[in-house]
A and B are shown apart, each in its own frame.
Chain A
Amino acid sequence: EDKVVQSPLSLVVHEGDTVTLNCSYEVTNFRSLLWYKQEKKAPTFLFMLTSSGIEKKSGRLSSILDKKELFSILNITATQTGDSAVYLCAALTGGGNKLTFGTGTQLKVEL
């Protein structure tokens, strides 16, 4: 059975801190690893990673994939209260568009 595990489950930091969120996966027919941010409702897309070792960046967020060790990390630098959300990672597998999600990391950024 496909499995995606995220850690930590929750995290409380202060504004300005740097955080690292972890995602490991054990799936068959792996194609890509995706990160989403979910605040109140719909998950919003952050990154899609397909190749190992290539960092993707968007502002203060960055992510990298290690296909040998089967994990990915999401870094957020200089955190802001607006970064408070659940961060989800998901493995895209097989043909089509099936995503297997982890349970998410709840991040709270305090002043």
Chain B
Amino acid sequence: KAGVTQTPRYLIKTRGQQVTLSCSPISGHRSVSWYQQTPGQGLQFLFEYFSETQRNKGNFPGRFSGRQFSNSRSEMNVSTLELGDSALYLCASSLVGYGETQYFGPGTRLLVL
């Protein structure tokens, strides 16, 4: 069974631009969660999607948004990029998103210049 895949793997943007990251969960998994990982703050929860609906949201500004499609693939979007948005963005999938193991993808490394 293929694991969680994320595209692109690396991305360089400049301040003020916007970016869209993609996550394809493990086949059959319907819950997708997104996390931001930085050296200073560690891994922080962004949001979780299940059945195309946002079920949980972390403490991030409205510039961070996401969506989920009917095939469970998910995208997250960051608008008006700031230098502090430079981070590793990880997504994780699980079956139905109620306490089962979450499996992480390799991440997208975003650098904002």
Binding site for B on A (CB under 8 A): 31-32, 34, 36, 41-45, 48, 50, 88, 90, 92, 94-104
The answer to whether A94 and B43 have CB atoms under 8 Å apart is no
**Interface size class of chain B, counting residues whose CB lies under 8 Å from the partner chain:** 20 to 34
Binding site for A on B (CB under 8 A): 4, 31, 33, 35, 42-45, 48, 50, 55-56, 58, 90, 92, 94, 97-99, 101-107
> What number of residue pairs across chains A and B have CB atoms under 8 A from each other?
69
Residues of B within 8 A of A99 (CB): 33, 35, 43, 45, 92, 102
Interface of B is mostly: strand
Given the interface pairs A45-B102, A103-B42, the reply to whether A97 lies near B33 with Cβ below 8 Å is yes
A34 to B35, CA, bound (A): 15
Interface of A is mostly: strand
Please give me the residue from chain A that is nearest to B105 by CB atom.
Answer: A42
The answer to whether A98 and B99 have CB atoms under 8 Å apart is no
